[in-house]
Amino acid sequence: MNRLEKALNEAAATLVLEVERLLPETELPEARVVAAMRYATLNGGKRLRPFLVLTTAALFNVARQSASRAAAAIEFVHCYSLIHDDLPAMDNDDLRRGLPTCHRAYDEATAILAGDALLTKAFEVLGGAPTHPDPQVRADLVVALAEAAGHQGMVGGQMIDMLAATRPMDIPAITRLQRMKTGRLIAFSCVAGPILGKAHPMQRQALEAYAHDLGLVFQITDDLLDLEASAEEMGKKTGKDAEQGKATFVSLLGADRARAQAKALGDQAIQHLESFGNSEPAELLRDTVRYVLERRN
Amino acid sequence: MNRLEKALNEAAATLVLEVERLLPETELPEARVVAAMRYATLNGGKRLRPFLVLTTAALFNVARQSASRAAAAIEFVHCYSLIHDDLPAMDNDDLRRGLPTCHRAYDEATAILAGDALLTKAFEVLGGAPTHPDPQVRADLVVALAEAAGHQGMVGGQMIDMLAATRPMDIPAITRLQRMKTGRLIAFSCVAGPILGKAHPMQRQALEAYAHDLGLVFQITDDLLDLEASAEEMGKKTGKDAEQGKATFVSLLGADRARAQAKALGDQAIQHLESFGNSEPAELLRDTVRYVLERRN
């Protein structure tokens, strides 16, 4: 196992422990929604966002508890968005990470509520005293997450994506859509560390720029995999973009130019990390770019 | 127009102005979700929660901007919960406040996203610097709202309510369900003021106790109206509890005993206000109890 795989596994283990701490099973009458929240957060996934939080936090020697709570909060938001995106009224997916989607494992009403409760929980965790001794840091995290996840960010991006099949989209429009839909939450994953560590604004900006490029690389490789990989490899349905007639980087540029574009963005992402030297977390962030460029699922 | 009606109208006007400020129309590609958010928050409603925020804030001379932002945040959460509760997978309602529900006016996907974005916006507003100069106050508001709205509160209550038709429920179980489903957000509406005003913990507790009783009075009168009022009077479908075979205060106690119970809880709510004397906001809070007891819609 290489250095990055080891760090990803460690991040996943940290995340699972933190979720167990923040969201234990219950026998109260509302147990069903808590079980659905746990189902959606504890069944795997790459844990890329928690890994980015923990790794960027390590650049600034942030306390473990602070970093792992922030990692859990971001994963809650990511998982809520997957639950709601998978609903029949949205993407209508039956399979996620090789398992039934939340509304298939439970039911639609429970899935809607579980998503709502995970989003709410994220803010409870970030705002809570154990996340950081300085309340200004906690308030900053809350606002930054809300801006990344709300109508200006992830939800707005999802809205545009729902309309995309019926609208002509060019490269600038798709870039904006993807920055909103996935880029801003990935960016928040990389700035939670500098916020917690009270880093210099230039360092925060460098990590945000890194994250924006990484997010686009991730999206382009996702589009390529949607075109080229099997549902079995991906643990979810593939070939959906073409089926829905959605414009993507790949449909507009063609696979070869899209691949070259991803490579160029990846190089640029790595350049943003120059000021962080050769520390272990900085090297892991560089490895991440190469890993996303080469991923097969 | 009496004193309370005047204050309710003023609160509604303040709320609308604040929503216009926080959530202006846009022509960006995500305009549709913003329009749906505005549709769900700007089309009336009693504005009871904003009124409670503004009135309890007035007890402690909280700055207008702080109070009106907190009022808007709570109304965002209330309106998000109505959007999601009205969805086909939940209560499947076509009518709300005499108008098509959000998913009828737009579509299901947009309604899900608009609800998500309103919930997110609430935390952005509470965490934001203009809400209070002290970040500890903002972090406290965020955590208190999340606890009121999440799996321990409103969402958990909604989950239990969805299961209620298939489970035997007694009075303690229904009381817990209602405190979670509607009581905790009403309670937060009454403690946002003391949190913003850094009131003595005893004062905060008195207002929380007032709100819990008021919330139950509101629920019991809601159950009575569901039984007795027409859809036209209520601006939404009625007779649903009996149709769904759901246990309510009214089905378990009978209408007469439920009415007596509401009256007793109302008296108790008023008693919790004793320490606030005869200031205008304290009198308005007393008027509110009487208004809810006598409401016809």
Section A5-10 average pLDDT: 96
Domain around A272: 3-294
Instruction: Encode pLDDT of B233-264 as tens digits.
Output: 666 666 666 677 778 889 899 999 999 999 99
Which of A192, A214, A200, A206 has the alpha carbon at shortest distance from A55? A192
Distance spanning both ends of chain B, measured CA to CA? 18
Partner residue facing B159 (CB), from A110, A127, A138: A110
- Joined together, the tokens standing for residue B284 give 């308005």
Q: Is residue B231 very low, low, confident or very high in pLDDT (cuts 50, 70, 90)? A: low
pLDDT at B229 over 80: no
Q: Is residue B119 very low, low, confident or very high in pLDDT (cuts 50, 70, 90)? A: very high
A176 touches chain B (CB under 8 A): yes
A133 touches chain B (CB under 8 A): no
Yes or no: say if A179 and A196 are a contact pair by the CB < 8 Å rule. Answer: no
Residue numbers in B near A87 (CB within 8 A) = 89, 112
Q: Do A30 and B84 count as a contact with CB atoms less than 8 A apart?
A: no
Instruction: Encode pLDDT of B140-186 as tens digits.
Output: 999 999 999 999 999 999 999 999 878 888 999 999 999 999 999 99
Q: What does the pLDDT read at residue A241?
A: 67
- Joined together, the tokens standing for residue B209 give 């106790």
pLDDT at B1 over 80: no
Section A272-297 average pLDDT: 93
Cβ-Cβ pairs closer than 8 A, A with B, add up to 175
Instruction: Encode pLDDT of B58-104 as tens digits.
Output: 999 999 999 999 999 999 999 999 999 999 999 999 999 889 999 99
Residue B9 dihedral angles phi and psi, to the nearest 5°: -65, -40
Instruction: Encode pLDDT of A140-193 as tens digits.
Output: 999 999 999 999 999 999 999 999 878 888 999 999 999 999 999 999 999 999
Give the 3-state secondary structure of residue B99: strand
Q: Do A156 and B89 count as a contact with CB atoms less than 8 A apart?
A: no
ipTM of predicted assembly, 2 dp: 0.94
Question: To probe the interface with A, which of B113, B118, B196 has the most A CB atoms within 10 Å?
Answer: B113
Section A53-63 average pLDDT: 97
The interface residues of chain A toward chain B in range 84-103, judged by CB-CB distance below 8 A, are 84, 87, 89-90
Yes or no: say if B281 and B59 are a contact pair by the CB < 8 Å rule. Answer: yes
Question: To probe the interface with B, which of A103, A113, A160, A179 has the most B CB atoms within 10 Å?
Answer: A113
CATH number for the domain including B112? 1.10.600.10
Residue numbers in A near B157 (CB within 8 A) = 30
Residue numbers in A near B160 (CB within 8 A) = 29-30
Q: How far apart are CA B116 and CA A172, in angstroms?
A: 26
More confident residue, B3 or A230: B3
Total domains, chain A: 1
Q: How far apart are CA B255 and CA B252, in angstroms?
A: 9
Q: How far apart are CA B241 and CA A146, in angstroms?
A: 36
